[in-house]
Amino acid sequence: MGYSDHRFDVNLSILFTELPLLERPAAAAAAGFTAVELWWPWIETPTPGQAELDALKKALDDAGTQLVGLNFYAGRLPGPDRGALSVPGEESDRFRANIDVAADFAASVGCKALNALYGNRVEGADPQVQDSLALENLVLAARAADRVGAILLIEALNKPESPLYPLVSAPSAIEVVDKVNAATGLGNAKFLLDLYHLSMNGEDLNQVIDAYADKTGHVQIADNPGRGAPGSGDLDLTDLLGRLKKAGYRGWVGLEYKPGDRPSAEAFEWLAKPLRAGN
């Protein structure tokens, strides 16, 4: 098994960032990709104006690119924030204000996966209070996702780069997935399996795949060390993706790596152009 066994999409919040947001879908299409994903693009606001939403939809449509994954509002990304939904006060309120906006935009472009970053621990807040708030907000997000026929993704990050983020292992994220599904009865909460983050945590990636492939709703990849393109580090991503295939995973694989000191369009030589179309 190799890369030909998977459908790849490009994360336009880490690749093609040398271009304005509305030019990135066309650039991805020019590189041969038909599917893309995004972190919440408007980091300053959870509720952008309709004109901004319409402009992004038009850019995606004009490029012929399908949006297959979208983050809910998560504060400043890239930057120090790692989610808002478990942060008491204004940030949690901003997340709630974003839920239906993000879900409705996803529905307008046919996006079927919404990712909710859990949120950092914050000084002065009881972790148990944060966890209770997180579950409340994730239940709301799961119901909104279900309303538009989408799944809700829960992601583990890595402790070295996100030391205040509490979900820094596959089991910790799976525990939240299970709690959300138990609370809603919908079963639409899934694990976002990011091989880079899990490798940074020192987890046994083969074991994670074998244990949780059936609860995985989306996969993201980057090599380690460096968070570069496949082949730039030490991870055997061909083998790992083959193991995912054998374990039954048939979803998208998001390219969420840094292009390095070159234009993003030159960062895909590891993947033959005919394999980029996501068919």
Instruction: Report, as residue numbers or ranges, the catalytic residues.
Output: 155, 256
Q: Give the containing element (helix H, strand E) for 238.
A: helix 237-246
CB 3 within 8 A of CB 241: yes
Residue with token string 């040398």? 18
Both structure tokens of 240? 């790992």
Q: Give the containing element (helix H, strand E) for 38.
A: strand 35-38
- What angle is formed at CA 137 by the lines to CA 135 and CA 143, rounded to 5 degrees? 100
Residue with token string 């914050």? 122
CB 220 within 8 A of CB 195: yes
- What angle is formed at CA 229 by the lines to CA 224 and CA 232, rounded to 5 degrees? 60
Which of left, alpha, beta for 259 (phi over 0: left; psi -120 to 50: alpha)? alpha
Residue 160's CB: how many other CB atoms inside 10 A? 11
